[in-house]
Structure 1
Amino acid sequence: MEAFTKLTGLVAPVDRVNVDTDAIIPKQFLKRIERTGFGQFLFFEWRFDEQGNNIADFSLNQPRYKGASVLISRANFGCGSSREHAPWAIMDYGFKCVIAPSFADIFYNNCFKNGILPIKLSEEQVEDLFQRTAAHEGYQLNVDLENKTITDNEGLHIDFDLDEHRRQFLLQGLDDIGLTLQHEDEISAYEEKHSSHLFA
């Protein structure tokens, strides 16, 4: 997994509360077993009409947000089912950071396992980001995980909180397998010791 330290990225808004995982990646696209290829289906039913045409007023279809890597949304983002495909789709589309007032717990945990930084800010701070994004085409945020800060080029400075264990996961680019492999030597020694008893 790629380490996350600092990110300067274009911001895209999805101005909805209770964005659930079925909206993030609809169930009909869950047949793939790879983590890649889901980005094209992100927010599928909001991005496309029944004929497959772009819905012009949905933010991600607007040229000004093309290439965004920071997603801002409202409270309870990622609610609904526990499908890990939701962060897969977000990451595959190009988002590396999601900012919202609150997240569903399982989605929040799955973000860290897939290299995405979810940041919780107050309702007022998120509203300010929405207003800044709307007012300035090409609006970017600088997200610094090492120092736990968010800044822009207009004087914004926000400190955010994050569990230190999860912060280290992202800074070191570790998922659960990577964390386990940090103890590969001890695991190998244990297996060798116990296999010698079994076959003695």
Structure 2
Amino acid sequence: MKKIILLIAIVATSMASAQKYFTKTGLTEFKASVEAFEPVEAKNESTTAILNTETGDIAALLFVKAFHFEIALMEEHFNENYMDSDKFPKATFKGKIEDFSIESLTPTEKEFTLKGMLTVRGKTKSIESIVQIKNTDGKIVLSSEFSVSPKDFDIEIPSIVRKKIAESIYIKFCYELIEKK
């Protein structure tokens, strides 16, 4: 936990003199469903993200227990059996939007390449994705999607439910950032 706080402090310090946009209500969703079985999907509407508009550096943090499922038992199993969210309460992303320029943004989405490191359950994986970005009424809206494997983060799926959970987890996010003053 101290490492996560230190990471955010370092990112925030490095962005101290730069123009920053942020949110504390970003939407992060995942789907791990297999057809013919119950949907395995959840939403987290309290992701914190910060963007340095001068460099394109971006950092995001979410609390694992803030993911909510339609089925309460599924949420309990997710936190206790798969994510071990008492031991690993947060997930983080630290990366860069390549060739980012706030001046080039318009109300029409533009595509950029997002590269960075996703840390879940203490394991880190390199991520590269296309991110759509637009500037609407002074707000920067970022959205993207990518896939990861439970194996990437040492998440073991018991054999009894292995066929009910996808081998590739689809992650989608949408963050509406406002200028930090």
Instruction: Give the greater-gyration-radius structure (CA).
Output: 1
- Please confirm whether the aligned pair reaches a TM-score higher than 0.5, indicating the same fold: no
Please indicate the TM-score interval, normalised by the length of the shorter structure.
Answer: under 0.3
Structure (1 or 2) with the greater strand fraction = 2
Using the size of structure 1 for normalisation, the TM-score is 0.21
